[in-house]
Every structure is written in structure tokens, then in C-alpha cells.
Amino acid sequence: MSLKKHINTLISGERNITASYAKRLAYIFRVSEIDTDDPKENARYWQSLQNNFDIFQLQKKERNNISQEETGVLDHFVEVVPHMNLINLLPKDLDDIDKILAIRKLFKISDLSLIPKIPCKGAAFRAQLATNVKIDKYVLFAWQNICELTTRTESVKAGLDIELLKSKLNDIKSLMFDKLSEGCRKLQEILAVCGIAFNVVKHFRGAPVQGFIKQTENGKLILCLTIRGGRADTFWFTLFHEIAHILNKDYESKLVDFDSSDNEIELKADKWARDFLLSPELYREITSLNRKPTWGDIVTLADKAGVKPYIVLGRLQKDGILEWSDYPNQVQRYKWAE
């Protein structure tokens, strides 16, 4: 075959630029873009053209192979995608196909429609579910990945230091007296030196999760919380519940189980969190009263325990000693600010 015909077959796509043919082209043509007469560099240039063309063809095929089922997954992400845009995980103004391709890459999955088939292993969740709350597996999967993506750049100590974490517990408890943003910043710093990457992540409908722990493949431990429900007492209780899981190393083997959160492991973590925030001895001081606790009683006990009064109030409400409607103006609430 003549050189002219051979080049025509390359242009028409009938023939690829092989390594040997790239070498021949390098001897015949000087490539002005790379400004060198080195045959090896010229050969690499011609080979790169073929590589770029192959990638283009694969991307074209990938776009054409996206099914309607996978496109429909975007209906589950009506809250997720705008948030990912806002925190710069996902570029804005993408069409649906490009959104799918970008999310595939971020979530490391070949087809978004496969998400419900992926088991939620290697993570410990805390969820408070009512009978009318439904889990959207697509949203839950996305939320978990956002947790991992937003903590991936956190600089943390190599390896979990349990003893150091134990020594920092009272420092962590005192952070509830700061503004949430400042407290979370300090909490992030404290946990980082203990070997834990921490973040507060936006919650979405369909992922009724309060907290998340996961040990990644490279050994990094992730702890994320939401402010779902908005109650400050829930936020701090969940934090210490998750810390209990870390201290007990429950995250090493735990599976996600939303249908039965009151198992032995969860109850053990609940008890530890309750007793750390309010010791049984102190709590008995208010539960042994022969009357309904007043706000003054609550403040006095909170001062003794070194916690905010809403911690005592939330515990009394949870235990049925006070009604959920009691002292409504004293229930501190957190709000998500984009």
C-alpha cells in the first residue's frame, strides 16, 4: 500500500496508528507542535493522537449506552445535584448525560441504576426512623459518597489514637458552648489529631441519617454528622453515640440496619453517650424529685454536668418525664446555611 493510501485509511478511520506506524510517521513528518526533531518524541506525538481518538470513541460509546433507567436516577437526586454544584463537587450547567458521567466518576460506579444492588457494608449509621419515613437507596448512597468526598482532603493523623481520643472527650463536650460553626471547626481539629476526618454534611430527604462512620480502604476513619431535625441535643447526643462506636470499634464489622436500630451494639452506644453527657448519679438528682422538674432544676443540673441545659431537657423529654411540648423556647435548634 502506498503512503498516500495508507494515510487516507488513517484519516477515514479504517486503520489505527500503531506503535510501529507512529515511528514511521515520525521519520517522514516533523511535528511543529512539539518543536523537536527527536524521532522518539515525534512518534509519541502520533501515538497520542491515536490514544486521544480512542478515548473520544469510548466516551461517545459511553454516552450512547446510557439507558433511560439510568437517566431516571437523576429524579432521585433533585436535592443532591444542586448541593454538589454548590460545594464544587459537580460542575454547574451540565446536561443530563454529562451529569450522569460526572457522578459515575465521583461515585466510582459504572452505572447509577446499579446503586440499589450495592450492599452498605463497612459503615455504621445512626438513624431515627418513624414508620412513615422511607429510605431512598440512591440518595443514601449519594449522601455516603458526599461524606467521603468532602473529607478526602482532611489532613489527619495516620492511624486512630483511641487513648488520645479518650483524653479529649471533655474538651469535645465543652464545644457545645460555642457557636456551631466555631465548635465544629474546633471539633474537626481535635478529631484530626486523633486520626479521624470529621465533617458536618447536609441531609437530604430519603437519607434519614444522623451520623456516619466509615473506615476507608487506606485506613482513614471518617465521621460525619447531619443536623437533621435541627435539635441541638440530638446533634451532640449523636456525636457521642458515634464516638462510642469508635471507642468500641463497632465500625470494623457493622452493617447498616435501619429496620432494627435498637440492637445490642446501638443500645450500648446509646447508654455510653447518655451516661457521658449526664452521669447516672447526677441524673437521679432530677428524676427523684417528687414533682415536675422546673427550668431552674434543669439549669442547675446542666451546670453540674458541664453541659448546655438543652441536653438535660432533651433527656427528660426522651425519657417521658417531660412532654415534648414543655419549654419549647428552650430547645435550641441548628439550621443549615448554604
* pLDDT-based confidence at residue 256 (cuts at 50, 70, 90): very low
* pLDDT-based confidence at residue 240 (cuts at 50, 70, 90): very high
* pLDDT recorded at residue 60: 56
CB-based contacts of 238, cutoff 8 Å, min separation 6: 126, 210, 211, 225
Residue 23 has pLDDT above 90, yes or no: no
Average pLDDT over residues 216-238: 90
Locate the domains of the chain by residue range. Answer: 3-64, 67-118, 122-277, 280-330
* pLDDT recorded at residue 257: 44
CB-based contacts of 107, cutoff 8 Å, min separation 6: 141, 142, 145
Interhelix angle 309-318/295-305, rounded to 10 degrees, is 110
**For the segment 27-75, what is each residue's pLDDT rounded down to a tens digit?**
666 665 665 666 677 777 777 776 776 566 555 556 557 888 999 999 9
CB-based contacts of 305, cutoff 8 Å, min separation 6: 277, 278, 279, 282, 311, 312
Residue 124 grid coordinates: 455504621
**For the segment 263-319, what is each residue's pLDDT rounded down to a tens digit?**
788 889 999 999 999 999 999 999 999 899 999 999 999 999 999 999 999 999 999
**For the segment 73-121, what is each residue's pLDDT rounded down to a tens digit?**
999 999 999 999 999 999 998 989 999 999 999 999 989 999 998 876 6
Residue 262 has pLDDT above 80, yes or no: no
Residue 310, beta-bridge partner list = none
* pLDDT-based confidence at residue 176 (cuts at 50, 70, 90): very high
Contact between 3 and 24 under an 8 Å Cβ cutoff? The reply is no
**For the segment 117-159, what is each residue's pLDDT rounded down to a tens digit?**
887 666 777 766 555 667 899 999 999 999 999 998 888 888 8
Q: Positive or negative CA dihedral for 75, 80, 82, 84?
A: negative
